[in-house]
Amino acid sequence: MPQAPRPLNAPAAERNRQPILEVLQRVLPTRGVALEIASGTGQHAAHFAAGLPGWTWQPSEYEAANLASIAAWTAELANVLPVIQLDVLAAIWPLPAAAQTLDAIFCANMLHISPWACCAALMQGAARHLAPQGHLLTYGPYRVPGLATAPSNETFDVDLRARNPAWGLRDLGDVAAEAQRAGLQLIEQISMPANNLLLVFARS
Ligand SMILES: C[S@@+](CC[C@H](N)C(=O)[O-])C[C@H]1O[C@@H](n2cnc3c(N)ncnc32)[C@H](O)[C@@H]1O
């Protein structure tokens, strides 16, 4: 008999999902349509869709191997659309009709684990798809100009670059500059547990 796929479990997502949800509940309006880029295991999509019942949540993922896990985590949630495979670098994002115009785009922990070109692609895609009052929210570790980087993030950066020279912690100023080039502005920068930041961007 075929076995149902077992959802993947990332301990970090288990730890950070509630603090992130609390920011989303504060920053976002009560209803809208959100695209999540790089949904990973699907734990975030399930937690955020359950905690934001007025929102329709569109999960997406680059790695085909993660799609079944995301579908399994979100199977019981009526406000989650079927997961799609999405590479931010694609010129056209394959969004279904229900998620062509977006009130929010959420992307956690992708910018430092993908080539730098993904940052510009994320900003340009957000500029193409966000509604006029929409927001792009990114979460992860960043280097902040003028501030010492936490030792744990320095170690993480060395580890990332050893795994792939195109990866590494991004400078907050560089990320904000890419956003600005695409017509987005960094409007809020929220400190999160474990030396992470949640960044909120809006149209300039
Ligand atoms: C560390 S995981 C983060 C997963 C999840 N967002 C989380 O915080 O648990 C990095 C994610 O970046 C995604 N990724 C890497 N390159 C990508 C690309 N070109 N387009 C979209 N996602 C990409 C991976 O597939 C993976 O889901």
pLDDT tens-digit map of 49-66? 999 999 999 999 999 999
| CA atoms of 55 and 43, how far apart (whole Å) | 16
* Residue 146 confidence (pLDDT): 85
Q: Check residue 89 and give its pLDDT.
A: 98
pLDDT score at 2: 60
CA nearest neighbour of 150 among 85, 195, 84? 195
Q: Is 24 in contact with 50 (CB distance < 8 Å)?
A: no
Q: What is the model's pLDDT at position 5? A: 64
Length of the chain counted residue by residue: 204
Task: Give, in order, the Cα–Cα distances in Å from 82 to each of 33, 70, 71, 158, 179.
Answer: 13, 9, 7, 36, 28
- Contact indicator for 102, 160 with CB cutoff of 8 Å: no
Q: How far is CA 114 from CA 50, 106, 199, in A?
A: 28, 16, 18
pLDDT for the residue numbered 84: 98
Q: How far is the CA of 61 from the centre of ligand 1 (A)?
A: 7
> Treating both helix axes as pointing N-terminal to C-terminal, what angle do 43-51 and 67-74 enclose, rounded to 10 degrees?
30
pLDDT < 70: residue spans in the chain:
1-5
Round to whole Å and give the CA distance between 109 and 92: 22
Ligand 1, atom 10, residue with closest C-alpha: 110
Strands of the chain, DSSP E = 32-37, 55-61, 84-85, 102-108, 130-140, 142-143, 170-171, 184-192, 196-203
With the most atoms of ligand 1 within 8 angstroms of its CB, the residue from 114, 159, 163 to mutate is 114
Average pLDDT score, the chain:
96
Cα separation, 141 vs 175, in Å, equals 12
- Confidence (pTM): 0.97
Pairing of strands 84-85, 55-61: parallel
pLDDT of residue 3: 60
Which pLDDT value is given to residue 4? Answer: 59
144 Cβ inside 6 Å of ligand 1: no
- Both tokens of 131, joined, read 């509604």
pLDDT of residue 97: 95
Rounded Cα–Cα distance for residues 129 and 177 (Å): 19
pLDDT of residue 151: 94
